[in-house]
Amino acid sequence: MSPTHEPRWLTPEELRAWLRLQAVVELLPATLDAQLGRDSGLTHYEYLLLAMLSETPGRTLRMSQLASATNATLPRLSHVVKRLEARGLVTRHPCTDDRRATLARLTDAGWDTVVASAPGHVETVRRHVMDVLTPAQVEQLSTIAAAVGRSLDPEGRLYALTGD
């Protein structure tokens, strides 16, 4: 921090927007985790991981790619994949091209889990987000989240932002 630099405070409108955003950021993961945990025994992050693999040709991705795709750090991903492997939802294979790399592949059981979990998860997203917004607001949200996401991830390696 530069100590002599006077910070620009937030305007009342900005402060209100910030407090509301903060509430969403705090409550949304808790809500998703609760629904997925109750109905499918999955964490929100675990679901996201499996879903990303399920949408990839070959259902296989390098750890580093999977980390980017799920907005996570490599250490975190490593632990989660290890747990999912122990549960038989994912397998790990060494990569022949680059022997440092590890490939994570979705098993049939993992696929079945995603397929079984998706409807309930989508329904939750719909109820708490999409259904309370107008189509115009969904577009606004998309634009706003893209802008904020870019500033949070300057390297722009996020899968989720594909389509800019």
Partner DNA sequence: GCGGGGTTGTTGTAGAATCAACTACCTGCC
Partner DNA sequence: GGCAGGTAGTTGATTCTACAACAACCCCGC
34-63 residues near a copy of itself, rule: CB under 8 A: 39, 48, 54-55
How many other C-beta atoms lie within 10 A of the C-beta of residue 102?
A: 16
Nearer to DNA, 62 or 146 (CB): 62
153 binds a copy of itself (CB under 8 A): yes
Nearer to a copy of itself, 13 or 97 (CB): 13
Neighbouring-strand partners of residue 62: 103
Residue ranges in 112-151 that form contacts with a copy of itself under rule CB under 8 A: 114-116, 118-120, 122-123, 125-133, 135, 137-151
Neighbouring-strand partners of residue 102: 94
13 binds a copy of itself (CB under 8 A): yes
Residue of 42, 25, 24 whose CA lies nearest to 33 = 42
Phi, psi for residue 11 in degrees, rounded to 5? -70, 165
Nearer to DNA, 138 or 156 (CB): 156
Please, are residues 63 and 100 in contact by the beta-carbon 8 Å criterion?
A: no
CA 74, distance to chain mean position in Å, is 14
Q: Pick from a copy of itself, DNA, none: which does 95 bind, CB < 5 to 8 A by kind?
A: DNA
3 binds a copy of itself (CB under 8 A): yes
